[in-house]
Amino acid sequence: MFNRDRWREIFETISKNKLRTFLSGFTVALGIFIFIILFGLGNGLKNTFQEFFLDDAGNAIFLYPGKTSKPYKGYKANRRIEFKNDDLKDIEENFSFFLEYLSPRIDRSASTSYKNESNSYSTRAISPGHQYVEKTILMKGRYINQSDINEKKKTAVIGRLVAKDLFKTESPIGKYINIGSTAFKVVGVFQDDGGDREERNIYIPFTTRQLIEKGNDKLNQIVMTYRKELGHAGAMAFETALKKYFKEKKSIDPTDPNGIYIANPADDLKQSQQFAIVLQYIVSFVGLGTLIAGIIGISNIMVFVVKERTKELGIRKALGATPKSVIQMILQESVFITTISGYVGLFFGVIVLENIGLKLEDYFIKNPYIDLGTSIAATITLIVFGGIAGYIPAKRASSIKPIVALRDE
C-alpha cells in the first residue's frame, strides 16, 4: 500500500506547484470551515428559541383566578374569583387521568434576614409537586415534603442567590432565617434554569403560609403538569375540561372570557418544536450547499490540474506507466490534499465556534455548537468526493494515447 517512490513524486509535485496545491486545499478547508460555522450558528439560534421553555416543565399548565366580566346566576359582574384548598382536591379527584404533578402557589414578598445580612425576596408557598412543575434542581439538602405540608412546619428551601447573599460561604442547611417576623429552618438550596430572578425565591409549605395568615385557605394560583404521553391533543383537552369545570364550580358564565385564566404552553411548545425542525432543515440545506460548493470547487481544480499535466502523463505512459498507476498517483495526491485541508478546516471551524460563542448571546445566538459526529461526517464526505473529483479526470487522462498527450499543449 505504501509506495515510497510514489509518495516522493507526490511531494515533489506539491512543492513544485505550491499555488495550485494551496488553492485546492483552501477550497476544501473553506468549505468545511463555513459548514461548521453555519451549522453551529443554526444550533445556537435553536438554543435561544428553546430557552424560553426552560424555566418551567414543557407539560405545565397554570390556573389563575381573575374577575368576571358578565353577571351570571344572580352574581354581578366584576366578581373576584378565589381558589381554595378544596380546589386542589377536586383537581386530583376529577382529573387523575390527565394529572401528573400538582401544587398551589401563594406569592408574597418579605424582608428576609440572617444575622447581620438582610434583603427582600419573593416567598412562594408551595407543595412538593412544585419541584417538578418548576424544574427546580436541588443543590443541597431537600425540598418541601408532605410532612412539612401536613404538620405546617416552618421550613424553607432557598434559591442559590439567596444563599449567596445571606450566608456568603457558610452552609445554610439547618440554619434559621427570619422571613418577616417568623423564623424558618433552611432545609435545602436550589438552582433554576430560569435565571437569577428564580434563584432569588424562597419556597415554604403553603399550609404554613395559610397558618401565618390567620388560618385562611386561599390560594393565588394552581400549577400542574399533565402526563407527557397525552401529547398536544391531550394537553388541549385537559385545558378545555379544566376551564369548563371551574366555570361551573365558580358560577362563571360559560361565554365569559375572564374569571378563570389558563396558561397552557403546549401550543407555544408545539410551534417551537416545529420551528426548530424547520430551522434544522434550513441549516442542513445551507450546510449541504456549502459542501456541494466545495465539491464543485475541488472538481474544477482537479480537472484543470489533470489537463495541465497531460503532457507529463503522456511521457509517463510512453516510459511504461500503466493506466492504473497513473490513476492511483493522481487519486492519491487528490485524497492527500483533500484530507489534510479538510481536517485543517474542521480544526479552525471548531476553534472559532468555541471562541465566539459567548460573544453572540446579544445577537440571540446562544451556545453555538456542532457535534463531533456531524463535523467528521461532513469532512469525510468532502474527502470522498474530493477523491471522486480526482478520479474522473485521472481516468480520462489515463486513457489518452501517449502520442496524443505529447502533442497536447
Question: What is the reported pTM?
Answer: 0.63
List residues bridging with 83 in a β-sheet.
219
What number of other Cβ atoms are within 10 A of residue 129's Cβ? 20
Mean of all residue pLDDT scores within the chain: 85
DSSP element (H, E) containing 400: none
Structure confidence by residue, pLDDT tens digits, 17-48: 777 778 778 888 888 888 888 888 877 877 77
pLDDT of residue 407: 63
Find the helix packing angle between 372-398 and 310-318, rounded to 10°.
Answer: 60
* C-alpha cell recorded at residue 101: 404533578
Q: What is the per-residue DSSP string for 326-361?
A: HHHHHHHHHHHHHHHHHHHHHHHHHHHHHHHTGGGG
- The DSSP symbol for 81 reads P
DSSP element (H, E) containing 382: helix 372-398
pLDDT of residue 273: 67
The structural domains of the chain, with segments of one domain joined by +, span 4-52+270-407, 60-264
pLDDT of residue 406: 61
State yes or no: pLDDT of 383 exceeds 70: yes
CA nearest to 9, candidates 315, 353, 385: 315
Which residues neighbour 387 within 8 Å (Cβ) at sequence distance 6 or greater? Answer: 331, 334, 335, 338
Structure confidence by residue, pLDDT tens digits, 205-247: 999 999 999 888 999 999 999 998 988 888 899 999 999 999 9
State yes or no: pLDDT of 400 exceeds 60: yes
